[in-house]
Amino acid sequence: MSLIQLTVDDLRCLQHAELTLDPGRNLIWGSNGSGKTSLLEAIFLLGRGRSFRTRNSERLIRLGQSRLTVFGRTDGVPPRAMGVQVAKSGGTTARINAAAAGSLTELSEAFPVQVIDPGVHKLVEEGGFRRRRWMDWAVFHVEHGFADLWVRYTRAVKQRNAALKSQSAQAVIWDPEVARLGELIAEARRGMLDQMQPAWRQAVTALSGLEVDLHYSRGWSQEVSLAQSLQDSRARDVARGLTHSGPHRADVLVRLGGRAAREVLSRGQQKLVAIAMTLAQINLLREKTTITPTLLLDDPAAELDGAHLQKFIEEVSRLNCQLVVTSLQPESDLFGRPERVFHVEQGRVAPV
C-alpha cells in the first residue's frame, strides 16, 4: 500500500501543495526551513492523526489560519482516500473514503506509515511514552482487536481515576475490568515483541554491531497479577488519585550488558539502535501481515558516518517499500535514483 496523491493546505509554512507520488522512491529537496519536513509531517498525519515532531497538532496550523487540511489517496486493494483536518476550535478529525473515522486509530489501518528523522534517538534516550507508542503501532497491526482493547482499558482507567480523586468507594468496582483488559493488553504486547526478536537481532547487529536487548516491562510486578497489584497499591492510588499499576505504565527496556542503553551509548549509537527498532518493526509487519508501510526518511545522512550510513542504506533497501526522502541536495540518490523528485522553496512545492 503506497500513497500516490497528497494535498496539503495551511500546514506550517505550506499554504497549498499537491504531489503525485511514486510507489517507489521519492525525493523532496530544498534548503533548511523550506518546508521539506513539513511535507513529511503531512504524510505522517494521514496515517497517525498527529505529527512526529510535536504532541500539539494545533502548532501545525499555518500562522494566521484557523485550520489545516491534508488529503491523501493510496493505491492499495482496496484503494483508500483519507482526509485529516486540524482546527483550533475543534481538534483533529478524520475521514476515510468520505466517512467519518470513529477514531484516529483507523488512519493507521488505512495508511500504515513510519518515520526515521534526526530525532529518532529519543526513542532510546527518553522515557517510556515514545516506546509505548512505538510498540503499540506494531501490536495494532499484528494483533487484531488490540485497538478496541486499548480504548476500553483507557476508558476504564479514567473512570477508576475519577472515583479515586473523589475518594469514592466505587473505585474498586472498576478493578476487575481494568485488570482483565490490562492483562490482555500486556499479553498482546509481549507476543508482538517476542515475534519481533529475530528481525530485531538482525537489524541491530547489521547496523550497530552491538548486543542490545529489548525487554518488555508490563507496568506492574512480574510476581503478581494486575488484580493483586491494584489491590496492593490502592492506598497510594487513593492518596494521589491515580492508577499506578497497569499497561499504561509499561515500557520497552533497551539494555546493553544489563544497563540502560541510554546510559552507555553515544548519541550516534542511540540513533542506530532506534533505527534498528523501526526497521525491525517494519520487517515484522511484512512477515506476519500483508502490510508494507510507507517509510519517511528526514535527512537520513545526518550524524551517520560513511560506514554506518552504508549499512543503513542496505537495510532500508531490503524493505522494498515506498520511500519519501528529504535532502538538501537535488542529486541525492542514497537509495537509488528516485522515480519522483520535488523541489520545495519557501513553502512552495514543484515537481522536477
Rounded CA-CA distance 45/59 in Å is 13
pLDDT on residue 90: 79
Pairing of strands 67-74, 3-11: antiparallel
Domains of the chain (ranges, CATH numbers): 1-112+293-352 (3.40.50.300), 119-291 (1.20.1050.90)
Whole-model pTM?
0.94
Rounded-to-integer distance, Cα 110 and Cα 96, Å: 8
Provide mean pLDDT across the span 30-50. 96
**Using CA atoms, how far apart are residues 73 and 2, in angstroms rounded to an integer?**
9
User: Does the pLDDT at position 55 exceed 90?
Assistant: no
What percent of the chain stands above pLDDT 70? 100
Q: pLDDT at residue 77 above 80?
A: no
- Grid coordinates representing 89 are 476550535
* Long-range contacts at 128-131 (CB < 8 A, ≥ 24 apart): 128/249, 128/250, 128/251, 128/252, 131/251, 131/252, 131/254
Q: Does 191 have pLDDT greater than 90?
A: yes
pLDDT number for residue 13: 95
C-alpha closest to that of 271 among 210, 221, 314: 210
Count of beta carbons in the 10 Å neighbourhood of residue 252: 19
Q: Residue 105: its pLDDT value, please?
A: 87
